[in-house]
Amino acid sequence: MRVNIRKTRKEDIKNLWELEKESRLHHKKLRNWCPKLNFSSISQKSKKNWVNDFKKRFDSDKNISFIALIDGKAVGYNVGIIFKWNWTDGKGFDVAELQDMAVLKKFNNKGIGDKLIKRFERWAKSKNFYGIMLNVDNKNESAIALYHKNSFKNLYVNMFKRLK
């Protein structure tokens, strides 16, 4: 199985919807304790909005996305953004934030997530960023294990309390 990782092109976006849809369904199961957090729909309207939002990323030099292909078929992707991380003392530095990553379930545990992370990391290093940040659902144990395996460390814990 030969995996090709390259920068995502505009013409790839519609093919990424299947990955995004599967990811949304997975996250919906993880967050079933708080229905208001299950805002990720898979309706046609959601698809259209997601595709349009993803296309806008190509109009900014602050965004990057990579796609994993096997025999020309999209099996994974990631997307990130560049931002200045400022501390209260006014010192800041450039970081790449890995905002989203998905691999089709049937291709999990085949090294594709590793390859996507490593490609994102090479790109961030080439831009001389200080580091890479990401957020991950605390119930997404396989993703957490993947990130730990790739030397990511826990930095903060975001918490939420449902009031109604």
Those residues whose C-beta lies under 8 Å from the C-beta of residue 121, and which sit 6 or more positions away, are 132, 150
Q: Residue 59 has which token pair? A: 């109009």
Name the pTM for this structure. 0.85
Mean pLDDT of 121-141: 90
Q: Tell me the CATH class for 3-149.
A: alpha beta
Mean pLDDT of 65-80: 94
pLDDT of residue 131: 92
Helices (H) and strands (E) in the chain, counts: 4, 5
Q: DSSP 3-state assignment of 42?
A: coil
Q: What is the pLDDT of residues 29-65, one digit of tens each?
A: 666 655 555 556 777 887 788 788 888 887 788 889 9
Give 69's pLDDT tier (boundaries 50, 70, 90): very high
Answer with the residue of higher pLDDT: 9 or 22: 9
**pLDDT, averaged across the chain:** 85
Residue 127 clears pLDDT 80, i.e. is over it: yes
* 32/5 Cα distance (integer angstroms): 33
Residue 11 clears pLDDT 60, i.e. is over it: yes
Mean pLDDT of 60-78: 92
